[in-house]
Structure 1
Amino acid sequence: MLRAVIIILALSGLLNATSVFAGRVTVAVAANFTGVARELVPLFEQQTGHRVKLSYGSTGKLYAQIQHGAPYEVFLSADVARPQRAIKEGLAVKGTDFTYAKGKLVLWSADPDLFDQRTGPEFLAAGSFARLAIANPKTAPYGQAALQYLQAQGLWQPIKKKVVRGDSIAQTFQFVATGNAQLGFVALAQIKSWQSGTGSLWEPSEQQIASIEQQAVLLTRGKENPAAHAFVSFLKSDKARAVIQSAGYGVFERIAKE
């Protein structure tokens, strides 16, 4: 009996020690990755004992907040440019940047009877719709990709008066999902997590719209935080990559370890 009590107390001590050494990390997350981040956090917390606080927004707005001293320690961007800029500006740790996901921009409508994989470009070019939603090209990489496609196809000038801009790709998706915009350019992963059916979908080829490379980086504020380092390492793990891929993102075959 005494031995059992000693074992219980020892185990209790170990658990208390784990909670003492567990840390906390604050992560800035690009809006398109919101749902996946929420899936990853419980897995990370269970595996490491660390706790995570997530903040979401468009990549541009998050970066502006980082420049103005926001207490983020890891940055999950929706592009490559801003993590690289953060490193050059001394806001992020050199050598910690890596691509955690490759996003896909698609044309989508909640209405299932508008277009399909074959007729999507034709429907867009015809312009027979009231509103087309895109994310703000100045702050959201997915919006920038949409604008570049429309300009390349010569469609921007004819339809720009019908375009409504979301502050982020998350808000853009809401415009389309609620019918405030008849169609829009959104992230494929958002549609995969939508609970109300497929709607109308056109998924362009890589030649039409290239995948969007999304990079993560350890910010300078997290340099001395073991929980921040652990989160970055977790994103590179097979477990995390499987979740990311199942959500509709591409992943690179090999990711360099820290």
Structure 2
Amino acid sequence: MLPRLLLLLTSLLLPLSAIAETVTVAAASNIKFAMEDIAREFEAQSGHRLKLSFGSSGNFVAQIKHGAPFELFLSADEKYVKLLHQSGVTANHGDIYVYGRLALVAAKGSPLSLDAELTGLKALIDSGELRRFALANPELAPYGERGRELLQAANLWDGIKDKLVLGENVSQAAQFALSGSAQGGIVALSLAKAPQFAAKANYVAIPEDRHQPLGQRMVLLPKASAAAHELYTFLQGDKARAIFADYGFSLPARHAKPEASH
């Protein structure tokens, strides 16, 4: 009788560790710092672990279509999630988790004068002093696409396109701007606000009405575990939303019933 009782007590003490899972997540590079903070909160609360991969949304779509073992995709633009759904990969369109913002950035000591109207950038282009400018590849990264849209609307694209240093994703573009490989760049506000970035560079936020909205959509993938479903719900909760807001994201209205199920 005693051994059975001990076995029962042991089984009651183990459930958290026994059911702990590792969730594989493909995440747009612009949410890197916010997502790392969120991961710590989620892991502490749930007992699960997150395996985070950061990169360009366009590249992740190709990987997922070829069977990459991700359980959750957090895109930098909703069109990529919709592409997956149209291809029959996902059961639904998922949900917008944040709206992204752009920032004009320059390393401290750069000759680029920062302002939301891009007049300082225009002056540097017109003077012939602009040598390199960082941008995420518009063909792969939504933030690069919106950055190009912003420059075109300001009539600066023709004068700057031959001076671009293109990052595979917006995080790499930010590194180019920080390292001195470029005199400035257009990157995600969420990266510019990160302490690691702010210590080395200055930035100015670009008004949201200067480009098409950056609705960042997430979706569960066919291999999603129960833990991935928990994470999906957590990302729409108070703790995650507060962290996203701290990094400069705008938040969507709350959904009564998130599209978390397949």
Please show how residues 161-176 of structure 1 align to structure 2 within 5 Å. Answer: 161-176=162-177
Pick closer, same or farther for the CA change 1:14–1:254 going to 2, 3 Å. same
**Equivalent residue, structure 2, for 1:3:** none
CA contact (8 A) 1:233 1:257 kept: no
User: Following the alignment from structure 2 to structure 1, what is the Cα–Cα distance between the partners of residues 209 and 39?
Assistant: 34
RMSD: 2.0
**What is the percent sequence identity of the aligned residues?**
38
For this pair of structures, how many residues does the alignment match? 247
1:36-79 per-position Cα deviation (integer Å, ceiling 9, x unaligned): 11111121122122221111111111111001110001000000
CA contact (8 A) 1:114 1:200 kept: no
Amino acid in the other structure paired with 2:222:
T
Please show how residues 15-164 of structure 1 align to structure 2 within 5 Å. Answer: 15-94=13-92, 97-111=94-108, 114-117=112-115, 121-126=118-123, 127=125, 128-164=129-165
1:175-219 per-position Cα deviation (integer Å, ceiling 9, x unaligned): 011111100001111111134537443322222234411011011
User: Following the alignment from structure 1 to structure 2, what is the Cα–Cα distance between the partners of residues 40 and 26?
Assistant: 14
User: Following the alignment from structure 1 to structure 2, what is the Cα–Cα distance between the partners of residues 256 and 174?
Assistant: 39
**Equivalent residue, structure 2, for 1:226:** 226
1:2-50 per-position Cα deviation (integer Å, ceiling 9, x unaligned): xxxx89x83x543312212222211100011111111111211221222
Q: Please, what TM-score do these two structures have when normalized by structure 1?
A: 0.88
What secondary structure, in the 3-state scheme, does the structure 1 residue paired with 2:248 have?
coil
Q: CA deviation at 1:232?
A: 0.5
User: Following the alignment from structure 2 to structure 1, what is the Cα–Cα distance between the partners of residues 91 and 44?
Assistant: 26
What secondary structure, in the 3-state scheme, does the structure 1 residue paired with 2:218 have?
strand
Pick closer, same or farther for the CA change 1:133–1:17 going to 2, 3 Å. same
Amino acid in the other structure paired with 2:173:
T
Amino acid in the other structure paired with 2:221:
L
**Equivalent residue, structure 2, for 1:252:** 252
**Equivalent residue, structure 2, for 1:215:** 217
User: Following the alignment from structure 1 to structure 2, what is the Cα–Cα distance between the partners of residues 191 and 26?
Assistant: 26
CA contact (8 A) 2:114 2:204 kept: yes
User: Following the alignment from structure 2 to structure 1, what is the Cα–Cα distance between the partners of residues 148 and 119?
Assistant: 17
Pick closer, same or farther for the CA change 1:177–1:57 going to 2, 3 Å. same
Gaps of at least 5 residues in structure 1 are 1-5
CA contact (8 A) 2:103 2:192 kept: no
Amino acid in the other structure paired with 1:163:
L
Gaps of at least 5 residues in structure 2 are none
CA contact (8 A) 1:191 1:198 kept: no
What secondary structure, in the 3-state scheme, does the structure 2 residue paired with 1:27 have?
strand
